[in-house]
Structure 1
């Protein structure tokens, strides 16, 4: 089936249990959650509730009602940012954000005149948390940071940033698109007020799943209003969770798959997964250094990054290299800006882009060997 090295975009393959759960629900149940009192609808309710509990436990959060399901992390981030930020508010963010954060902030800057400050980082994507303090103002309404860059893999000092946010009573929103499932996340110890996650990357679940952990009492204005299955006579969106931010028919088949994915992660162990991917990253960095005319970006230290590696080959367009790897060697990785132009500005590749390796739990060292061999034969 070829060599898949694009796990930073979406993980593949998924555990078999995930696909089985999605299929089983669609074939043998297929009912809406929260919309009926008959047996199959109650089974749907339980699937959704149990998944909320499992996700909460994974992130050391003990209130399932404030585990809110969305369609993906972009949806989650938009709900949080648009629900918190008001006209003329000030927000602090990193220099490495994905467009899921950056485009939303720039749109709010245009539409409601919010002010944005980006915290500088090194060329390796390392942020000094103390730099955040100089940007804090009286009207700072939110700090939003990616936990790990989707271009460089660099892990950000989330716990320390969260402590600074708490000290100044500023809500702290974390984008865990690259980190959830790939490393331990503890919303309490890490001082995270709102955690945005997606199901289809390192959580190993289906596309179309994601959510928010609401570890705060701050008011988040709903982005949407509609049916919730309860209090139907009330004309406004309910003020209690999860209905406050969830509306419409839930993706129960996807949630059924995500539930099994979380069970798989628990069985394998997040620490074991992290250590395996860290070992693969270290091996890949060492092997890639043997490729002629290669330039590797980021910290090049598996202790400071997750399993995302960006690189270029001298005098070759990343798109051309990616096409050759696909067509000739059946090796799949991503070329371009990876929806994160600000991160590419940091490393000076905004005009060119890079090739990106996204290693996952099911990759092997042999995959890296074949990639390096192919690169040396370009």
Structure 2
């Protein structure tokens, strides 16, 4: 199989990192915060150190809180529900994944948030000026994707963050498509909340995500339960991370996330991205020349992560994907990619697009095969 669906989940995984994580997990045994004996204390100390290491990886401000979640969707729900207070205004964009849009709409429907959704331009970017124009006196935060999961376009976070910082508005970033490909610097971009998942760019396991919070951003608890601390309190503890974490943690996932991030040094990410973008340019250059094929994304490679979408004449995206899979053994993602507003804007709804997303294991041979397959599909469609 030629795997070109890394934006959904990376494959193959970082096997050495996962094996190291399993060895550490099996040797540890105990759960953090669930006992006073040596192993439990050791587990708690380990998780605390991993929290700090993740904050360091993200260049988070001193005193930032790292809270673990089941995935980016879980972390975004924790963040959005924790900011909803019935009086605040949130600005977001049409580029967002349903992991942002649905919690926002739910909070809006229940009169817990006011929400404005901004458009993006024809090249897939949201302007700083449009965001600034949407701010109100009671705007609490702007929630924006770092990189679109449909177009791959990377938003100008440093400019957006500087503007919002001047207005005293929090910048909350969904980095699900960028962590592992692009360096993250929360301080440089004035990012107040960063969300990402382990199973995409970091090449880690499913079921683990993180929410990194600036110490000045207040997020209320939205789920309640055992935390291992302050058990006599009938209410959820107020201190982080217990405020936002309940129940036994995914220790294996937490350790695996750290091991995968440890392998993603800035130098390694830079080399990896350069190679991925070289391959994406080859794919883009070939697809735009095919009759009947329309490419979305890839028009500004300096502001792009390694993915792009396309359509083929009047073929449904799912049919193109089925041919790629059945006839050429190429795995891609088709449909709306859980980002319906992007497709409404592009005019590709309701069937969506065919998305090619590259990873660290993608080769020239993979791209050659994808190009040849798309050439055959386009020719077949054009002659029918």
Query: Normalising by structure 1, what TM-score?
Result: 0.94
Q: Whole-Å Cα distance in 2 between the matches of residues 66 and 22 of structure 1?
A: 23
Q: In the alignment, which residue of structure 1 is the partner of 2:178?
A: 179
Q: Whole-Å Cα distance in 2 between the matches of residues 17 and 237 of structure 1?
A: 38
Q: In the alignment, which residue of structure 2 is the partner of 1:17?
A: 16
Q: In the alignment, which residue of structure 1 is the partner of 2:235?
A: 236
The Cα offsets for residues 139-171 of structure 1, whole Å up to 9 and x where unpaired, read as 212211111110000111111111121111112
Q: In the alignment, which residue of structure 2 is the partner of 1:349?
A: 348
Q: Contact 1:35 / 1:41 at 8 angstroms: preserved in 2? A: yes
Q: Whole-Å Cα distance in 2 between the matches of residues 268 and 118 of structure 1?
A: 36
Q: In the alignment, which residue of structure 2 is the partner of 1:61?
A: 60
How far did residue 308 of structure 1 move?
A: 1.4
Mean Cα deviation higher: 100-109 or 40-49: 40-49
How far did residue 234 of structure 1 move?
A: 2.1
Q: Whole-Å Cα distance in 1 between the matches of residues 374 and 269 of structure 2?
A: 32
How far did residue 301 of structure 1 move?
A: 2.3
Q: In the alignment, which residue of structure 1 is the partner of 2:150?
A: 151
Q: Contact 1:17 / 1:257 at 8 angstroms: preserved in 2? A: no
How far did residue 247 of structure 1 move?
A: 1.4
Q: Whole-Å Cα distance in 1 between the matches of residues 64 and 115 of structure 2?
A: 32
The alignment status of 1:320 with 2:319, answered yes or no, reads yes
Q: In the alignment, which residue of structure 2 is the partner of 1:48?
A: 47
Q: Whole-Å Cα distance in 1 between the matches of residues 328 and 267 of structure 2?
A: 31
In structure 2, the gaps of 5 or more residues are: 378-384
The alignment status of 1:264 with 2:263, answered yes or no, reads yes
How far did residue 65 of structure 1 move?
A: 6.3
The Cα offsets for residues 72-128 of structure 1, whole Å up to 9 and x where unpaired, read as 111111111111122143211112110000111111111125322222211221121
Q: Whole-Å Cα distance in 1 between the matches of residues 181 and 124 of structure 2?
A: 19
Q: Whole-Å Cα distance in 2 between the matches of residues 83 and 347 of structure 1?
A: 32
Match of 2:265, SS? helix
Q: Contact 2:176 / 2:195 at 8 angstroms: preserved in 1? A: yes
Q: What is the number of residues matched between the two proteins?
A: 377
Q: Contact 2:148 / 2:177 at 8 angstroms: preserved in 1? A: yes
Q: In the alignment, which residue of structure 1 is the partner of 2:305?
A: 306
Q: Whole-Å Cα distance in 1 between the matches of residues 277 and 298 of structure 2?
A: 13
Mean Cα deviation higher: 141-150 or 282-291: 282-291
Q: In the alignment, which residue of structure 1 is the partner of 2:382?
A: none
Q: Whole-Å Cα distance in 1 between the matches of residues 313 and 367 of structure 2?
A: 20
Q: In the alignment, which residue of structure 2 is the partner of 1:124?
A: 123
The Cα offsets for residues 342-375 of structure 1, whole Å up to 9 and x where unpaired, read as 1112211122210001111111121111111112
Q: Contact 1:96 / 1:342 at 8 angstroms: preserved in 2? A: yes
CA RMSD, aligned part only?
A: 1.8
